[in-house]
Amino acid sequence: MNPTTLKLFQGIGRYGVLLALVALILFGWVRYENFLGAFNVLSVLRYNSMFALVALGTCFVIITGGIDLSVGSTAALGSVVAALLSPYGVLPGLLGGLAAGLAVGACNAFIITRLNILPFITTLATMLAASGCALLLAGNQSVSVSYESGFTELGQGDLLGFPVPAWIALVAYLVGSLVLNLTSFGRTVLAIGGNEDAARLMGLPANRVKALVYLASGGLAGLAGVILAAQFGAGQPIEGVGWELFAIAAVVVGGTLLTGGLGSVGSTLAGVLLLGLIFNILNFENGLGWISLSAYWQSVIRGAFLLLVVAIQARLSMRNEEMAS
């Protein structure tokens, strides 16, 4: 990729999504009463923290040139495990859901790096396996959490006037940004996505880094499942459907290349907030009575966003190839 196209991608990812986010906020502020009120702002942050965590793991995976389709089912499994352990306290519930996610991530990491199975096939298989495990553990029904143990504070509580799930997501993104931009691990992640064979020839630990990336993706999905259970008061084995598409859409809208080698943690967070605000605006429009859209339109919008940005990326890549030839 020549420097001009690289700068163009970076501009689209880092500034385009931010400009769109600011424009959307201004639109909502002008059009809707209480759009920027504390209740609506905090509700959006609380709810979208789950998707932010899943998108963070997906960001690292896609930067390496891989894909993780199992994050939605992993979150559902994590929510069930957390709910089952919630009567024993906050820490067992938290660690249980996290461990469930790490277990799925470890399976993905082993199969992809040791058995050399393509990430698409591997994570598709673990998606089905995680979904089945969640249904088996839950007995094909929602699992109520314990309200006496304080577990629900992880999803419904506030800290310094800010939702606890949003604090968790914020810390995760700060750590993720530091890791990607300031460590050798992050540089290796980018190198793998740019050219994995070249990274190996340079002596970089490609397999180890890829394994850790998929492990982190699973762990973050499991943590999202913990928040899901705590926020809604139940472990939900059939939840998480389409979460992987939301995560991919947020990551790609944020400018991360699906082919790998280029991405930004901060822009991924902006992508999550952008998609979250779009759905929030749809709810406001439904309330005004101008339109009447069901929740299923969320999937339509996610698909449209993903298709649009991928089409732009493909077009720019074709132009780059034409210029190179």
pLDDT of 298 higher than 90: no
| Predicted local distance difference test score (pLDDT) of residue 55 | 95
| Predicted local distance difference test score (pLDDT) of residue 88 | 93
Q: Please, what is the average pLDDT of the chain?
A: 87
pLDDT of 321 higher than 90: no
Domain that holds residue 315: 3-324
If one compares 194 and 74, the residue with the highest pLDDT of the two is 74
| Predicted local distance difference test score (pLDDT) of residue 220 | 97
pLDDT of 262-296, one tens digit each?
888 998 999 899 888 888 888 887 766 666 666 66
pLDDT of 150-189, one tens digit each?
899 999 999 888 999 999 999 999 999 999 999 999 999 9
Q: What's the whole-number mean pLDDT along residues 31-36? A: 86
The total number of structural domains that make up the chain: 1
| Predicted local distance difference test score (pLDDT) of residue 289 | 60
Strand boundaries in the chain, DSSP class E? 143-144, 158-159, 162-163, 234-235
Under a CB-based contact definition with an 8 Å cutoff, are residues 78 and 223 in contact?
A: yes
pLDDT of 59-95, one tens digit each?
999 999 999 999 999 999 999 999 999 999 999 999 9
Q: What's the whole-number mean pLDDT along residues 91-102? A: 95
The CATH number of residue 210's host domain is 1.10.3470
Under a CB-based contact definition with an 8 Å cutoff, are residues 20 and 274 in contact?
A: yes
| Predicted local distance difference test score (pLDDT) of residue 304 | 76
pLDDT of 109-144, one tens digit each?
999 999 999 999 999 999 999 999 999 999 889 999
What pTM was estimated for this model as a whole?
Answer: 0.90
d(CA 88, CA 86): 5
pLDDT of 297 higher than 80: no
